[in-house]
Structure 1
Amino acid sequence: MSTEQALDVRAFNRFYTRRIGMLAPTLSGSEFTLPEARVLWELAHHAPVSAAALSKTLQLDAGYLSRLLRGLKGRGLLAEQAHPSDGRQRLLKLSTAGKRAFAPLDRGSQAETEALLAPLSTPQRQALVGAMSRIQSVLEPDAAAPVELRPPQPGDLGWIIQRHGAVYAAEYGLDARFEALVARICADFVDHLKPEREACWIAARGAERLGSVMLVQARDEASGRLRPGTAQLRLLLLEAHARGLGVGKRLVRQCSDFARAASYKRVVLWTQQGLTAARAIYAAEGYRLMDSENMRSFGQQVVSERWELTL
């Protein structure tokens, strides 16, 4: 870790706390401070809960939390009930008055957030929410939203092209011709798509894209004719921060399952010897290396490989 990186994080924290109004004396024009509002939110969504559990969840000093709770109780906003298995403990929840007080607070916070997003374009909102999701997944991986494999949405194929171009240039030195090839593959996918035989999946966590893969009907390279009973896996990609989460294995397995359901007899793919992580995923799925060739490709001297999975 560098001093400059720590300074960058601190600068972002100052910007963001100012931007969302955390320095204001109360939240959303209400009578509640930010810590009080946060306690009310937890009790509105996760009650009944003990004070000890609340302190751990919010990472608040027990003495400070005790004072917050005492103030909220004094305003009639909290209620207590006995712990079902430990009579020495009391569990906290919102009282009827607390629920009434929390409702406009929640609506106000929602309205402020929507107002923050309103001036942004759809791509800007997606980028913002995706970046927030990435921050959470990096700092608290266990608390991050689950990764789903979904069909492509508008803009996803453009993302596949852009990320392939950027990632393979940065990590393997491939030139712009590789990005052009990916663009042609995506265009062909749209132009010739047969949904019962071909598919594309985007690995996403909320609004953040983490990876991609395609399964298409394989064609003879020389004639362009379809190869009967043969599918081709293409455009497997994982963002660097998503590697090691098992997402690549899920994407490859999704292709295998789809190919079996579509009655393909085999799946083929082309890769390069230097893509060691991808090759490990293919081998674990049951693919076998069929042949390899030294060649110059996209500005680099590489060993091109053909792998095949028998279904």
Structure 2
Amino acid sequence: MPVHEIRAFNRFYTNLIGALDYSKHLYTPYTLTESRVLYELAHAPRTDAADLRAELSLDAGYLSRLLAKFEREGLVERAPSALDSRRQRITLTPRGREAAALLDERSREAVNAMLSKVDPADRARLTEAMRSVREILRQGGAQEAARPALREPGPGELGWIVQRHGALYAAEFGWNADFEGLVARIVADFAQDHDPYLERVWIAELDGRPVGGVMCVRDDAPGTARLRLLLVEPSARGHGVGRQLVDVVVAFAREVGYRELVLWTNDVLASARRIYQGAGFTLVAEKPHRSYGADLVGQDWRLSLQEGIVR
């Protein structure tokens, strides 16, 4: 076993990305560990302290001190979990979200700067080599299978949502361009006018590639949110990505004070309907319709949330 080669690679890469130089980590005041905690708080579907500790393999005392520091700096708020009062829910404040967004932007800039020094002909080989390292070590039990990271869409990824919906639904159900046009209008409306406190889009990323997405927007009914545009790439299905995306919408809707979450889908989307049922949604109405070049049965689903008032 070439242990020395692996250790040499570890030394090379940590030096390359500046992981050991806290004063220069992405040119922010946060250490690598602090940055990772902020990342998880901004992207993970569940943000209880116990979940953070398990996900990042951190000592409970160290994590508690780190969160106390974030609280003093106005980056996080801590409160008992709505689902289990024995657990502590951690949420980012607006200032905390700004800090997490800055870290994400700086990280992307750092990677782009590193790649700019790599010959374009070698970039595909580099990314494939990195993917191979992860896959081989996971198969060998060195790490659990990757869990998609949930994050806000980057530049061009709202367009990716439209493109993938159009392509996948045409390939899998034979739907025509009317459906892609509907998705384009939904995405355009969100991009042009949305409340960032009450409405969000998430992208599921795995191995550096988007593999899914979902949207939460305000509905016409007061106190009601609508789940829209759930999508999971075929290559990522069967690994809980869809449930992860639905869970983050439910958690978000509860957190900001919606009283009810609703969605509309079609009966042919069997996998999605099973996810909705598993999350507690109830089918409340069905109606046949002719859309997207197909005869379909539209379905309305709803989920009652905790009592609260949308701010």
Give the TM-score of the pair, scaled to structure 2. 0.57
In the TM superposition, residue 192 of structure 1 has moved relative to its aligned partner by: 1.4
**Which residue number in structure 2 is paired with residue 199 of structure 1?**
200
- Looking at structure 1, the residues matched to 222 and 270 of structure 2 have their Cα atoms a distance apart, in angstroms, of 30
The DSSP-based 3-state class of the residue aligned with 1:264 is: coil
Distance in 2 between the 1:215 and 1:270 partners?
13
Q: Secondary structure at the match of 1:269?
A: strand
State whether structure 2 residue 164 is matched by structure 1 residue 163.
yes
- Aligned match of 1:265 in 259, 266, 270? 259
Return the letter of the residue paired with 1:165.
G
Matching residue within 40, 57, 77 for 2:4: 40
The alignment's TM-score, normalised by the length of structure 1, stands at 0.57
Q: Could you tell me how far apart the structure 2 residues matched to 1:134 and 1:275 are?
A: 33
In structure 2, the residue matched to 1:148 is 149
Aligned to 2:292: 298
1:284 equivalent among 278, 296, 305: 278
Secondary structure of the equivalent of 1:293?
Answer: strand
Give structure 2 stretches of 5+ with no counterpart. 12-113, 306-311
* Residues 196-235 of structure 1 aligned to structure 2 (within 5 Å): 196-218=197-219, 226-235=220-229
String of CA shifts for 1:227-250, please: whole Å, max 9, x gaps: 210100000000011111111111
The AA in structure 1 aligned to 2:229 is L
Q: 1:127 to 1:291 in 2, by over 3 A?
A: farther
Q: Does structure 1 conserve the Cα–Cα contact (< 8 Å) formed by 2:175 and 2:294?
A: yes
CA gap of 1:233–1:41, structure 2 versus 1, over 3 A, is: same
Aligned equivalents of 2:173 and 2:133: distance in 1? 26
The answer to whether the 8 Å contact 1:134/1:208 transfers is: no
Which has more radius of gyration? 1
1:303 maps to amino acid: V
Output one character per residue of 1:166-195: Cα deviation in whole Å (capped at 9) or x when no partner.
Answer: 000001111011111111111111111101
Q: CA deviation at 1:126?
A: 9.0
Deviation at 1:43, TM superposition (A): 3.6
**Residue type of the alignment partner of 2:188:** A
1:240-259 correspondence runs (5 A): 240-259=234-253
Q: Does 1:310 align with 2:274?
A: no
For residues 237 and 178 of structure 1, the distance between their equivalents in structure 2, rounded to whole angstroms, comes to 14
Deviations 1:139-183 (A, max 9, x none): 967765431010111111111011000000001111011111111
Q: Cα offset for 1:136? A: 6.6
- Give the Cα separation in 2 of the matches to 1:269 and 1:131: 41
Structure 1 unaligned runs (5+)? 1-34, 48-112, 219-225
Distance 1:42 1:248 in 2: 35
**Percent pairwise identity:** 44
Pick closer, same or farther for the CA change 1:295–1:250 going to 2, 3 Å.
Answer: same
CA distance in 1, matches of 2:291, 2:203: 27
For the aligned residue pairs, the C-alpha RMSD in angstroms reads 3.4
Aligned length: 201
The aligned amino acid for 1:42 is I
Q: Is the 8 A contact 1:238 1:248 kept in 2?
A: yes
Q: Which residue of 2 aligns with 1:185?
A: 186
**In structure 2, C-alpha distance between the alignment counterparts of 1:200 and 1:298, rounded to whole Å:** 24
Question: In the alignment, which residue of structure 2 is the partner of 1:81?
Answer: none
Task: Provide the C-alpha distance between the structure 2 equivalents of 1:169 and 1:131, rounded to a whole number of angstroms.
Answer: 33
Query: How much does 1:262 deviate?
Result: 1.2
Hey, what does 2:111 align to over in structure 1?
none
CA contact under 8 A between 1:213 and 1:235: conserved in structure 2? yes
Residue pair 2:115, 2:123 contacting (<8 A) in 1 also: no
Give 1:268 shift: 0.8
